[in-house]
Structure 1
Amino acid sequence: MAPKKATAKAQPGRRTKVASNSKGGAKEPRPKPAAASKQKPKPPSGSSSRASGGLRNVDAPIPPAKRTYDDSHPERPSKRTKTDSKRKSPTIKAVHERQPVINQVPTKVLNILVFGNGDNSELGLGPKQTESSRPRLNPSLDPEDPTKHHITAVACGGMHTIALTVEGRIVTWGVNDEFALGRDTHWNPEIHDVDAVPDHDAELNPLESTPTAIPDAHFPPNTRFCQVAAGDSYSMALTDTGLVYGWGTFRDSEGKSRFGYDTRDGTIIKNQKTPLLIQGLKEITQIVCGANHAMALDSSGQIFAWGSNDQLQFARRLFGRHQDCLRPRLVRVCRGNAKYIAAGEYHCFAVDRVDNVWAWGLNSYGEAGYASTAGKDSAILPWPIKIRDLCGKSVTTISGGAHHSAAVTADGQCLLWGRLDGGQLGIRFSAEQLQDTTLIRYDDRGKPRICLRPAAIPGTFTHVACGTDHTLFISKQGELYATGFGSEGQLGLGSDEDVEVAQLVKGKHLKEKILTWAGAGGQFSVVAGPA
């Protein structure tokens, strides 16, 4: 990475995640964010007046008929039902005791390597290490050291990371301004002489920059977690009994923070500081997070969504008294036969049991796989459509960034689509492909801007991860490739240059390492493989 100018140590406050422009205009120059910049940008708004224009087509299912009441929640009482306000809700402990184990806790311990910009503790390398241009083993997660956390699963948010230990506990690090870490990180740094020479190597908050477990006291006894997921400013965790906990906050297009409801008095919780059981979810087998919306898949194949619906991540509009987005709501997709779900920052995916791939949400750059509206400002798919080029291909992994997406099939093919003008797809398109108007859409300057349908990148792959504007690939041989924006070292290539065609990542910490997983945040990345 290029040397950074000396800056004063960032003071506590809101920190900035590097995000791409969500509109359809030309790509703008991307200045490096200052280490002290901490105010989060607003998500794209997505005008509802444009959301449905021109989207009815042979690919799109017929939208559900309108109803006079909201039937999205299977346990909603009828209008004639009277509820006893004095009846006490079951305790969290009682809820846990009634649930059988349905999910397996992962047990394979992983090597965890991090790289990119850690000015706000994203790398988890401790209070003095703020960047790494090559993948570097995290010493706090050393599998050989019995005193360290031994990690079996990881998820990257916009500016924080959440991990799972072999004991089924949760470890977090990164930005905690809106409590995405789920634990207390209050810290009083030493007060220095104001007349002294500024210390440009001042330490980060050690409670944020060091991977630390969420205290067991926040959960009922014997709670074991099996999956973790992370968004921009919130986190989710799934138990082996199919229950979901969450903390942090969702931010809507106006920048307002809301997370859920206080079960004691029904008031809105703006920021949830510690893990909270998400009411209304049971027998959940998978959880995923977009920037400001979460989704859960249950054992029967039904999908639930909650958080922000500004880009119709719930696959429908909510009106009047049914506008509540903070409680999980049923997503009407693939007739309740989903077997896998995934999320981009503002768009969603589902794979059904006959290998159809469905998508909905933001589609400004074709990231949701619908070519007709790609390139139109704030284009939104208001209900799920099939991505026909992916149907029947046995897709095993899908990942989405801000405006691009990727999928890996069972036979190792990796396909990508969406915005390409920053190298996000990593494909060297042929002259013939560039002339194919059904594949490539150009901007007003005559430069390739959008890949309209899934295109394959050469090679055989087992995993892919999309960050905001960069992409990481894990090959069949366990090697790491990277492409896209690299201004903060998030590609791990040893420089801050952007990359248009995916390159092999090398480094001393990768020697003799076989990688199986990758995660990409806004300006940092994490990779992992068996210890």
Structure 2
Amino acid sequence: MGRPKTSASGASKRTEKDAERALNADSKSPTSNSKKRHATKETRSSKTATSPSTTSAPVVKRKRAQSEVPTADDVTSNKRSKTGRPSKDQTKSRSAKSRESEAPALPAAINEVPQDILTVFVFGTGENGELGLGPKKNEALRPVLNPFLDPSSPDAFHIVDFACGGMHTVVLSAKNQIITWGVNDNKALGRQTDWDGGLRDVDAESDDEDDTTLNPLESTPTEIPAKQFPPGTRFTQVAAGDSCSFALTDTGLVYGWGSFRDAQGNNRFGYDTDGNIIATQETPIHIRGLPKITQIVCGDNHTLALDTKGDIWAWGYNEQNQFGRHLFGRQQDSFVPSQVRVCRGNAKYIASGPYHSFAIDRQDNVWAWGANSYGQAGDPKSAGGDSAVLRAPVKIQPLCQKKVTTLAGGAHHSAAVTAGGQCFVWGRIDAGQLGVVFTPEQIQDENSIRCDDRGKPRICLRPTTVPNVEQAVDVACGTDHTLFINKSGAAYSSGFGFQGQLGLGSSDDVEVAALIKAKTVRDRCLIRTGAGGNGSIVADIAKRN
């Protein structure tokens, strides 16, 4: 969900487009994880940030890793002692089972645990470990199998669900493990990642490229310790924002960690059990005040949850009306979950972009609210203003009664897939985000396309089908790129490609949705995709758990 990270070399390639994007960025968009990590690897390694008005601290660099990369699994041995009696580990295990049997019964499950084990392929740029390929691999211009998630390896994590955040990823394993990797500056990984090998003397001379080593605790998929959750907890879904993460249980509870960030760069997560403000939550905690939840999704700095009654709940920052209304009175605290006043008792599905939100009701109406500066929330009337915000949820009329099954949002564009396989896109178009080349007739139609002052097409006002992605089954929006999966299991991509997040083997932008032809996925039947700020994921079913 975060904005793409840029570099000095990237700026030289994209001066005109990058400058234009900077001028047109939403004025209220908060500082993202990607901006924190915008500095070079040397300055990123510094433990304290330096403001422009202060004297710069001495530059330090990361050291070569001093210890082995963490393994994917750590299974306790089940051997007996030489006497034939149970080992100490077995005795402890039996004691734990005895205590578990004496514990009060857990609430009945309302959410189904995913059963399909996925083969996960990643691509893009991971200069801070975002790809999860370990401390020596920080780029993949085409999809590569993540070895730590290889379903054919008994030592790897076997994945059943995943969510891409701004610069981190959260996944759920078949063994009920929550695994994370990527940037942990605001504790989005939910675990300890301090690394003694992270710094070295700047005066040490070395021309060896291999001397640059990523933090293995960030760049390697690693489990959040199970002790962080109550015994018997069973997870069914994960969600990720810019610097926050959440996990949903089978009984409808939500756990979260990390931080939300406002437009001024202030961090806030919520409250502890004593009512004290939490700026950054380092480990998972239960999100109180929510009823039985069946689905969770994240924007950059807000979270939505759907309950069993069909009500939608929101918390986090509401600076661009991501909650669909202004808060007041007893509900003015946005870090206490409150109801979104749309589809009350009638919602069946929710989705989110970084600063806008979606819902589908049981009558098959599609609703949206929040940021709409490029029409990403689907309202053509208010689209075009740099700070356009929908003050209340509105119906996206062209999508109503179309049996939409999936919605996704990028920074300034959105997409939808219907049960019949149609893929609709709308919003910002100047970098190929939508994967569609519009005809002269469409461009001249003011009800379809809005142009800028120079006559350049800028906004697609109406949901428009993507012609060369036949029978779509899934879609995901990164900050400024889009990934499509069709019924044949092929993946397509378009949009901003500077960081290799299109998986097409180059860093070029792509205007028309192009087939990802990598050998690794050529014979695969892909079913799911995900997109973050500078990395992407596609996956197929390896086997049923």
2:489 to 456, 461, 478: 478
Displacement of 1:199 in angstroms is 4.7
Once residues 217 and 226 of structure 1 are traced to their aligned partners in structure 2, the CA distance between those partners, rounded to angstroms, is 18
Counterpart in the other structure of 2:472? 461
Once residues 130 and 358 of structure 1 are traced to their aligned partners in structure 2, the CA distance between those partners, rounded to angstroms, is 39
1:297 to 300, 303, 306: 306
SS in 2 for 1:189: helix
**Structure 1, residues 216-274: CA drift from partner, whole Å, max 9, x if none?**
000111211100000000001000110000000000112110001011x2110000000
1:185 aligns with 2:193: yes
1:131 aligns with 2:142: no
- State the number of aligned residues: 461
SS in 2 for 1:140: helix
2:260 to 250, 266, 269: 250
Change (3 A) 1:499 1:6: closer
Once residues 329 and 95 of structure 1 are traced to their aligned partners in structure 2, the CA distance between those partners, rounded to angstroms, is 32
Displacement of 1:100 in angstroms is 1.2
> Does the 8 Å CA contact 1:96/1:241 hold for their aligned counterparts?
no
Displacement of 1:130 in angstroms is 0.5
SS in 2 for 1:422: coil
> Does the 8 Å CA contact 2:312/2:344 hold for their aligned counterparts?
no
Matches within 5 A, 1:340-379: 340-379=349-388
Counterpart in the other structure of 2:236? 226
**Structure 1, residues 98-134: CA drift from partner, whole Å, max 9, x if none?**
5210111111110000000000100000000000000
Once residues 267 and 493 of structure 1 are traced to their aligned partners in structure 2, the CA distance between those partners, rounded to angstroms, is 48
Once residues 497 and 98 of structure 1 are traced to their aligned partners in structure 2, the CA distance between those partners, rounded to angstroms, is 52
Change (3 A) 1:162 1:195: closer
Q: Which amino acid aligns with 2:222?
A: T
Once residues 359 and 95 of structure 1 are traced to their aligned partners in structure 2, the CA distance between those partners, rounded to angstroms, is 44
Counterpart in the other structure of 2:227? 217
Matches within 5 A, 1:280-319: 280-319=289-328
Once residues 19 and 102 of structure 1 are traced to their aligned partners in structure 2, the CA distance between those partners, rounded to angstroms, is 45
Once residues 22 and 296 of structure 2 are traced to their aligned partners in structure 1, the CA distance between those partners, rounded to angstroms, is 23
> Does the 8 Å CA contact 1:236/1:247 hold for their aligned counterparts?
yes
**Structure 1, residues 121-180: CA drift from partner, whole Å, max 9, x if none?**
000000000000000000001101111100011100000000010122211100011000
Change (3 A) 1:96 1:129: farther
Counterpart in the other structure of 2:119? 111
Counterpart in the other structure of 1:157? 165
Change (3 A) 1:331 1:204: same
Counterpart in the other structure of 1:79? none
Displacement of 1:437 in angstroms is 0.8
Counterpart in the other structure of 1:520? 531
Matches within 5 A, 1:432-471: 432-458=441-467, 459-471=470-482
Once residues 263 and 442 of structure 2 are traced to their aligned partners in structure 1, the CA distance between those partners, rounded to angstroms, is 36
> Does the 8 Å CA contact 1:19/1:468 hold for their aligned counterparts?
no
Displacement of 1:430 in angstroms is 1.6
1:418 aligns with 2:427: yes
- Please say which of residues 278-287 and 315-324 is displaced more in the overlay: 315-324
Displacement of 1:511 in angstroms is 2.9
> Does the 8 Å CA contact 2:471/2:487 hold for their aligned counterparts?
yes
Displacement of 1:334 in angstroms is 1.8
> Does the 8 Å CA contact 1:20/1:468 hold for their aligned counterparts?
no
Once residues 479 and 353 of structure 2 are traced to their aligned partners in structure 1, the CA distance between those partners, rounded to angstroms, is 9
Counterpart in the other structure of 1:274? 283
Change (3 A) 1:379 1:224: same
1:235 to 233, 236, 245: 245
Q: Is there any run of 5+ residues in structure 2 with no aligned partner, and where?
A: 1-6, 11-20, 28-34, 50-101
**Structure 1, residues 325-344: CA drift from partner, whole Å, max 9, x if none?**
11110001023200000000
Counterpart in the other structure of 1:431? 440
> Does the 8 Å CA contact 1:369/1:387 hold for their aligned counterparts?
yes
SS in 2 for 1:253: coil
SS in 1 for 2:283: strand
Once residues 363 and 342 of structure 2 are traced to their aligned partners in structure 1, the CA distance between those partners, rounded to angstroms, is 13
Counterpart in the other structure of 1:82? none
Among all aligned residue pairs of Structure 1 and Structure 2, give the percentage whose two residues are the same amino acid.
Answer: 59
Considering only aligned residues, what root-mean-square deviation do their CA atoms show, in Å? 2.5
Counterpart in the other structure of 1:492? 503
> Does the 8 Å CA contact 2:24/2:386 hold for their aligned counterparts?
no
Once residues 386 and 96 of structure 1 are traced to their aligned partners in structure 2, the CA distance between those partners, rounded to angstroms, is 45
- Please say which of residues 511-520 and 412-421 is displaced more in the overlay: 511-520
1:145 to 143, 146, 153: 153
SS in 1 for 2:197: coil
1:507 aligns with 2:518: yes
Q: Which amino acid aligns with 1:272?
A: Q
Q: Which amino acid aligns with 1:516?
A: I
- Please say which of residues 397-406 and 94-103 is displaced more in the overlay: 94-103
Higher helix fraction (1 or 2): 2
**Structure 1, residues 449-488: CA drift from partner, whole Å, max 9, x if none?**
0000100011220000000000000011010000000000
> Does the 8 Å CA contact 2:416/2:424 hold for their aligned counterparts?
yes
Displacement of 1:200 in angstroms is 4.0
Change (3 A) 1:35 1:413: farther
- TM-score, normalised to structure 2, is 0.81
1:403 to 394, 409, 412: 412
> Does the 8 Å CA contact 1:340/1:351 hold for their aligned counterparts?
yes
Q: Which amino acid aligns with 2:112?
A: Q
Displacement of 1:322 in angstroms is 3.6
1:174 to 182, 195, 208: 182
Displacement of 1:33 in angstroms is 5.2
Displacement of 1:197 in angstroms is 2.1
Displacement of 1:276 in angstroms is 0.6
Once residues 95 and 526 of structure 1 are traced to their aligned partners in structure 2, the CA distance between those partners, rounded to angstroms, is 40
